[in-house]
Amino acid sequence: MQTRRGFLISGSALALAMALGLWRPQGLAGAAEGHFPVKLSDDEWRSRLSPEAFEVLRREGTERAFTSPLNDEKRAGLFHCAGCDSALFSSDTKFESGTGWPSFWDFIGGAIGTSEDNSFGMLRVEVHCANCGGHQGHVFEDGPPPTGLRYCINGVALNFKAA
């Protein structure tokens, strides 16, 4: 039987490991394991993606805030999935959220899917590419009109193509 102190110590160690990205609950990459038109092995994904993009798209990682050049992208064009090249977001829906990640108030119809993400002790809505299941980020209900949504997207999960 575990003591209260032992329970608190092991719980704190687990929380720290999760925060540092050293451990993830089984099945966290649920969307990436679903049924999508584009399905590749981990080795195939690794061969086509940078290590950072692989961690985000295939392992539901998160890039550090304010590190993506796409956060400051202002030109007209489309933002595509870095995994499969599907167009996901239009520059017409991009806005400055101040969060440090590219943010959009809407997506291109049919391009995005969502799933429940209850990792790290909070309930969020995860956003993934509907074509390959690649993790893009999360959607929150604190965005601007007309949708009131903020699609908070990892820049490393996107490629920008100017119009």
Catalytic residues: 152
Burial of 58 (0-12, 13-18, 19+ CB in 10 A): buried
- Output the CA angle 87-41-155, nearest 5 degrees: 35
Confirm if 137 and 123 have CB atoms less than 8 A apart.
no
Pull the structure tokens for residue 115.
Answer: 């799933």
Alpha helix ranges (H) inside 25-139: 42-48, 51-59
Burial of 35 (0-12, 13-18, 19+ CB in 10 A): exposed
